[in-house]
Structure 1
């Protein structure tokens, strides 16, 4: 019993280990995440020549532009600002690389030195200074014991802590049972009045909390559309009307949208033809109500952009509100990441093809030599790990010794 107890103690104290396969999988996951953030950009060419790209990864160099009013592309962040204080901003829409322009003083872009003094269509927020959210804190926050989750508004593109978006509890954020987001896009309270027209749509465009995500058996599509939207969670009162908890507004039991404007049935949103509005109204004359002006966060369901009406009146209103990009498929993060995945798959296919072509170009003796070298390297590393004192750090001398032993074995094999 004592021996078993001792063995258990040693097992508990043992350091966690991972296999080579697990390590490689971890590296591949990190590479995929990087590709998704960078949009598949290999970081070799400045994007300035492409103009104001619909979406790209942007970085702010506080060493060159302390005021935070300049942004650079991936390639310039690597080639021109290595060793500088660089802030990673993830993605920004309609942005053109500033590297080396008038904002950067005497600093000249190494990749594309000929640039206009400024890019007037670029927009900059406090993210470029390294601060985020309504609290203006940096990320990661050096004073925080735990780095809180942050989400990005798809309108202003600022990042917000989940407990700073105007909700009573972060439990109101639509998530599934595993805690994964059920929403595709988030619109912050400051930007939601700008998108008041979204309240004219049925609840199918709004992400629902996990406990409301599935309609009860026997309910119709119309009934399923009534409850569970984050912009107006409702419940039936004793007198048979629905009460919107966010604005206290009563709506008819037959309404599909918790606003004072009656939205059409779901079937009307399947498509618009001949310029007919999906909403069945002139949206430009439908002025926002006092409720619509309230600053509350919006959480939009997957595919909500495809549902938006594209008739002339609605399109003009989107432009007036400064959100015309919402109907552009290439603007969405989902499309940006989809393109990144396609670029990554193509790159991996090219790498595999190059490796296969290389092996096919070798004769039998050369192939045997490569396989023997790989086997020797595997055995040498295994011997090193078995004999190495894990309490000590691995030094450059240790690595050099491994390759010197490999060279000796190769010489012995060939002699």
Structure 2
């Protein structure tokens, strides 16, 4: 007869434990993730004085502006909106902090009260109301059984569920064998029509499970950008062995360039962009998409570096509101790179401050600190030896450790 289970536990029900090093590593990983999201912003100063920053972490206070037509920086989120219902929007481009302006009903910013009534160049979407995707649901969704990861469009900066980006039964999101994304940027099906000229570029700018990156797939020489030998073998032969222009072949899916291709120039190698010449050799503004077949685009790593920067193409980018695509500082990769540099500098400063503090002490003070550290280690060791490993460590247990240390110090003094 089976027991009642009061004195036994199934293996999968056992309490999970971690070592101290694992715990510290976990904390450091969370700190790094926070720094990457916040761009290394320590949250001490309002970013308003910096104007419209190319990219920064932005929040929306639903308590103050429920209409979702205002955004605030990290510092204002911490200092001016504590206890409010705040929505984290990750990052936004070309944004200036609204905290305390006319949209906040007379509530001034505590960090920078002198602000213009509005920031006319700011752009707001339904994310600022706490809604995302074409389905207009919040995140996390209180009605969802499982929170599904969302992806952000690099054009409109809205966030989308994978099931709501216009993929059909054939087209799949480019992922590796472990399910990790293989694309650098995602362009949603609503924004892809204005970027349809991208279909003029070689297929290595498109991310797929079979491709590496645009930056690796091309090498620049005096005649322009050429495909490497491996890509040529895959893209320039048909069943008769004749050369095929990869700019004019039809691509049936996202992984094979997302949709039907458009008319393209005869040459299959991008032209030289030096001297203001267009790499594509044609007016990209005349390209158009079939709106009924609008599909999302998944772009490979380094694809922005391939874009033509001639006067004509640059004008088209500006007219369509996508000039940021040729700005290196706009990419999330660059944003996170700067965040990592700020974090490393901050850690170096902290280590320097600790070293300066130790060096400022005399010999007796140094001995006292080392002795104190030794006492803490011994007390922790004694506690762990006598502690029941089947129980959880509580805040009261930690408090008792330091109380014992204090009592021992009083007896010795």
Shorter-chain TM band = 0.7 to 0.9
Count of aligned pairs? 384
Q: 1:222 aligns with which of 215, 218, 232?
A: 232
1:398, distance to aligned residue in structure 2 (A): 3.8
**Is the CA contact (8 Å cut-off) linking 1:204 and 1:225 kept in structure 2?**
no
| Gap regions ≥5 residues in structure 2 | 1-7, 218-227
Q: Is residue 252 of structure 2 the alignment partner of residue 245 of structure 1?
A: yes
SS of residue matched to 1:402 = helix
**Is the CA contact (8 Å cut-off) linking 2:212 and 2:300 kept in structure 1?**
no
SS of residue matched to 1:400 = helix
1:3 is aligned to none
How far apart are the structure 2 equivalents of 1:363 and 1:263?
78
User: CA 1:142 to 1:392, structure 2 compared with 1: closer, same or farther past 3 Å?
Assistant: farther
| Gap regions ≥5 residues in structure 1 | 1-7, 228-234, 250-256
What TM-score do you get using the length of structure 2 for normalisation? 0.85
How far apart are the structure 1 equivalents of 2:210 and 2:309?
32
2:100 is aligned to 100
What TM-score do you get using the length of structure 1 for normalisation? 0.84
- Cα deviation code 1:43-98 (max 9, x no counterpart): 00000001111100000000101111110000000000011000000000011000
How far apart are the structure 2 equivalents of 1:194 and 1:293?
14
1:204, distance to aligned residue in structure 2 (A): 1.5
1:296 is aligned to 295
User: CA 1:225 to 1:347, structure 2 compared with 1: closer, same or farther past 3 Å?
Assistant: farther
1:391, distance to aligned residue in structure 2 (A): 7.2
User: CA 1:274 to 1:87, structure 2 compared with 1: closer, same or farther past 3 Å?
Assistant: same
How far apart are the structure 2 equivalents of 1:263 and 1:292?
25
1:259 is aligned to 262
1:407 is aligned to 406
1:14, distance to aligned residue in structure 2 (A): 3.5
2:223 is aligned to none
**Is the CA contact (8 Å cut-off) linking 1:206 and 1:299 kept in structure 2?**
yes
1:280 is aligned to 281
1:213, distance to aligned residue in structure 2 (A): 5.5
1:312 is aligned to 311
2:24 is aligned to 24
How far apart are the structure 2 equivalents of 1:17 and 1:236?
59
Q: Which moved more, 1:369-378 or 1:87-96?
A: 369-378
How far apart are the structure 1 equivalents of 2:356 and 2:328?
38
How far apart are the structure 2 equivalents of 1:183 and 1:264?
27
User: CA 1:243 to 1:122, structure 2 compared with 1: closer, same or farther past 3 Å?
Assistant: closer
User: CA 1:359 to 1:328, structure 2 compared with 1: closer, same or farther past 3 Å?
Assistant: same
1:65 is aligned to 65
SS of residue matched to 2:375 = helix
User: CA 1:359 to 1:398, structure 2 compared with 1: closer, same or farther past 3 Å?
Assistant: same
Q: Is residue 355 of structure 2 the alignment partner of residue 356 of structure 1?
A: yes
SS of residue matched to 2:56 = strand
Give matches, 1:196-215, under 5 Å: 196-208=196-208, 210-211=209-210
SS of residue matched to 1:172 = coil
How far apart are the structure 2 equivalents of 1:236 and 1:72?
58
How far apart are the structure 2 equivalents of 1:179 and 1:411?
58
**Is the CA contact (8 Å cut-off) linking 1:193 and 1:294 kept in structure 2?**
no
RMSD: 3.0
1:4 is aligned to none
SS of residue matched to 1:148 = coil
2:111 is aligned to 111
User: CA 1:89 to 1:170, structure 2 compared with 1: closer, same or farther past 3 Å?
Assistant: farther
